[in-house]
Chains A and B, each alone.
Chain A
Amino acid sequence: MNKQPRGVFSFKVIALGVLLMFGSGCATTRSDPEKDPVEPMNRVFFNVNEKLDKYFMKPVAKGYQRVTPKPVRSSVTNFFDNLFYPNVILNGFLQGKFKQGFRDFARLFVNTTIGIGGLFDRATPAGLLRHQEDLGQTFATWGMGQGPYLVIPLLGPSTARDVTDLAPRTFLSPLFYIESAATYGVAALNVINERANLLEATEIRDEAALDSYTFTREAFLQRRNDLIYDGNPPLEEFEDFFEEETDSDAVE
């Protein structure tokens, strides 16, 4: 029962989070030409991740999809959604969404008890809908800019602001506090299951993208922006797009 290594790790994660917070303090929320200042480095990591995915993760995820029936996969997804849900509740409160926070708390309770440890989503049919909140979104609602776009080795697309979510996601998950070798197996199952859930999306990307790096970056940043505004970005977001047009024309 030695907690020491994890304590050190946690300090490092917090320190990194704080560093990134200050580092990204003055950037703007909306994507701009400076959104990808470290593109050469990002492209290197992107290519490494793509190779790893092509030769390892994707085949494993496909195999997993072949051998597990759909209801089992959705129970696995439900289980991990529920396991990481305390992070959603916390960030709902941090964003001042108190009503949503309490409802999410009820959701966690219902799914953990009646839903047998989260394996079954009994809360959604009861009107307790699933929300997607994280620390990156919280910082965004507090007015922090997204900072540079980052491709994290093994983890994929993120931004300086969004990468901070790694800390609460890790510490608020019960998995982190269970000292057992089985934890690694459970964590691995989560990664494989998540990849399997993304198989359709990545296939659409491979089908549609002319330049997968740019496609992934744009889709990721836009999706994040949409989540920050809970699916209702202000109309100006769309107008900005057209304004941007004349600006870039003027520059050239």
Chain B
Amino acid sequence: MTRWKRKKPSKLLTPMKLNWFHFPLFLMCWGLQAEATTQPLAADTVVERLHGTLIRVMENADKLGYTGRYQLLKPVVEDSFDFLEISRIVMGRYWRRLGNDQQTEFVSIFRELSTATYAARFDSYSGESFRQVAREPFKGDRLLLKTELVKQNGETIPFLYVLQAQQEKWLIINVVADGVSDLSLKKAEYASIMKRESFPHLIAKLREKIAEYENPKKK
């Protein structure tokens, strides 16, 4: 036990003389720090608000019921995701083949499906919490936010968010849960349906899913 030694005080904490040339250095650091924190903070807020709502929905899951959970989530989900951009990515090369009305219809159904999925999936609470792990910038104006869902037993499930700046606002464009990207999964599925069937089939299937979330089949 004698191996524990008292640490020397850090040099950073010792007072140092300030000179005139330190001033621009201060300004530079302050500027860099401001750039690094203020902008992405808005991105953190978007994800934190979504997580906060999810926890609230889980805590009151039974009292709210599916409809209550849906209503509570709807404004937050609609304000957190860039559904137009997501629709464009998720439909890939098929997006441009759709007419304006079809594109609008798709975006609206996809928005509904996203809220319905959250409302159906987050239907009980057993002490889970979310925590942010890291934030990494992307090429261009995208940002990666690494978070974790922490279960009561300490087990964690990684949740990664890809956000994109949209008119001075950060919006989520992809969620990667436990290594599986929601966007790529849906993109592959929708492409397969578009290739083997048609757009009306895809829409019908999406509507069917929303209805199933609302009234789950008893097995």
Which A residues lie at the B interface, using CB under 8 A?
Answer: 31, 204, 207-211, 213-215, 217-219, 222-223, 225-227, 231, 233, 235, 238-239, 241-242, 245, 248-249, 251-252
Q: How far is the CA of A36 from the CA of B136 in the complex (A)?
A: 32
Given A210-B206, A214-B188, check contact A223 B180 (CB 8 Å): yes
Asked whether, in the complex, the Cβ of B181 is within 8 Å of the Cβ of A241, the reply is yes
Flag B185-210 by CB within 8 Å of A: 1 or 0 each. Answer: 10011101100000000100110010
B189 touches A219 (CB 8 A): no
Give Cα A31 to B184, complex, Å.
10
B188 partner, pick from A207, A217, A231, A251, beta carbons under 8 A: A217
Question: Once the chains bind, are B179 and A210 in contact (CB under 8 Å)?
Answer: no
Is there a chain A Cβ closer than 8 Å to B138's Cβ? yes
Chain B residues with a Cβ closer than 8 Å to the other chain, count: 35
Give the complex CA separation of A225 and B184 in angstroms: 13
Check A211/B89 contact, CB under 8 A, given A231-B158, A235-B138, A241-B181. Answer: no
| Cβ contact of A235, chosen from B144, B184, B189, B202, cutoff 8 A | B144
Q: Are B96 and A214 in contact (CB under 8 A)?
A: no
Q: Does B93 contact A (CB under 8 A)?
A: yes
Interface residue from A210, A226, A231 paired with B193 (Cβ < 8 Å)? A210
Within the assembled complex, what's the spacing in Å between the Cα atoms of A225 and B139? 22
Of the candidates A207, A215, A235, A238, the one having the most CB atoms from chain B within 10 angstroms of its own CB is: A238
What are 26 A-to-B residue pairs whose CB atoms are below 8 Å? Answer: A207-B216, A208-B209, A210-B202, A210-B205, A210-B206, A210-B209, A211-B192, A211-B193, A213-B192, A215-B185, A215-B188, A215-B189, A219-B180, A219-B185, A222-B185, A223-B178, A223-B180, A226-B179, A227-B179, A238-B162, A239-B139, A241-B174, A242-B89, A242-B142, A245-B89, A252-B93
- Are the CB atoms of A223 and B206 closer together than 8 Å? no
A204, chain B: closest CB distance, angstroms: 8
Point out the residues of chain B lying under 8 angstroms from A226, CB to CB: 178-180
B67 contacts A by Cβ under 8 Å: no
Do the beta carbons of A218 and B179 come within 8 Å of each other?
no
Indicate the member of B92, B144, B158, B188 with the most A CB atoms within 10 Å.
B188
Contacts from B to A (Cβ < 8 Å):
89, 92-93, 96, 117, 120-121, 136, 138-139, 142, 144, 158, 162, 174, 176, 178-181, 183-185, 188-190, 192-193, 202, 205-206, 209, 212-213, 216
6 tightest A-B CB contacts, nearest first? A226-B179, A252-B93, A214-B192, A218-B188, A218-B185, A222-B180
> With A223-B180, A245-B89, A251-B93 in contact, do A210 and B189 touch (Cβ < 8 Å)?
yes
| Residues on A with beta carbons closer than 8 Å to the beta carbon of B183 | 241
Which residues of B sit under 8 angstroms from A215, Cβ to Cβ?
185, 188-189
CA distance A209 to B205 in the complex (A): 10
- Max chain A C-beta neighbours (<10 A), residue from B142, B158, B183, B192: B192
Q: A207-B212, A214-B192 are in contact. Are A249 and B185 (CB under 8 A)?
A: no
Judge whether B138 and A238 touch: CB under 8 Å: yes
Within the complex, the shortest CB–CB distance from B195 to chain A, in Å, comes to 10
Bound Cα distance A83, B96 (Å)? 53
Q: How far is the CB of A17 from chain B (nearest CB, A)?
A: 26
Residue of A nearest to B206 (CB): A210
Contacts of B92 in A (CB 8 A): 245, 248-249
Chain B residue numbers with a CB within 8 Å of A222 are 179-181, 184-185
In the complex, chain B residues whose CB is within 8 Å of the CB of A241: 174, 181, 183-184
Closest Cβ–Cβ distance, residue A18 to chain B (whole Å): 29
CA separation between A68 and B91, bound complex, in Å?
45
Instruction: For residue B116, give the distance in angstroms from its CB to the closest CB of chain A.
Output: 11
CA distance A73 to B58 in the complex (A): 27
Residues of A within 8 Å of B193, CB to CB, are 210-211
Q: CA of A227 to CA of B181 in the docked complex: distance in angstroms?
A: 14
Interface centre among B138, B158, B181, B183 (most CB of A within 10 A): B181
Q: Which residue of A lies closest to B212 (CB)?
A: A207
Query: Contacts A210-B205, A211-B192 known; A249 to B96 CB distance under 8 Å?
Result: yes
